[in-house]
């Protein structure tokens, strides 16, 4: 009998680990998509007006 519980417990644990791994993969893909969108936006801005983009990060007059 104890062996049955051990087998069921390890199966449940494996299912939980598989589900957790799938969730992590989905979250990673979402983060990659979001990062790609930000990088595409930056690239588009740099293509159209790189000088204004750079100037927006430069401190002027002790700001």
Domain boundaries, position 44: 24-56
Give one word for 39, left, alpha or beta, with left for phi > 0 and alpha for psi -120 to 50.
alpha
Predicted local confidence at residue 14, as pLDDT: 76
Look at residue 35 and tell me if it is in a domain.
yes
Predicted local confidence at residue 63, as pLDDT: 54
Look at residue 11 and tell me if it is in a domain.
no
Look at residue 14 and tell me if it is in a domain.
no
pTM of the model as a whole: 0.49
Predicted local confidence at residue 62, as pLDDT: 61
Look at residue 7 and tell me if it is in a domain.
no
Look at residue 5 and tell me if it is in a domain.
no
Look at residue 6 and tell me if it is in a domain.
no
Look at residue 12 and tell me if it is in a domain.
no
- Separation between Cα atoms, residue 32 and residue 47, nearest integer Å: 22
Could you tell me what percent of the chain has a pLDDT over 90? 22
Look at residue 19 and tell me if it is in a domain.
no
Low-confidence ranges of the chain (pLDDT < 70): 1-9, 62-63
Looking at the structure of the chain, the number of domains it has is 1
Could you tell me what percent of the chain has a pLDDT over 70? 81
Predicted local confidence at residue 2, as pLDDT: 54
Q: Is the dihedral of CA 35, 37, 40, 41 positive or negative?
A: negative
């Amino acid at each position: 009998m104890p062996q049955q519980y051990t087998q069921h417990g390890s199966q449940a644990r494996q299912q939980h680990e598989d589900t957790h791994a799938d969730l992590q993969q989905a979250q990673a893909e979402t983060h990659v998509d979001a990062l790609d969108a930000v990088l595409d936006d930056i690239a588009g801005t740099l293509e159209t007006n790189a000088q204004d983009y750079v100037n927006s990060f430069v401190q002027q007059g002790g700001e």
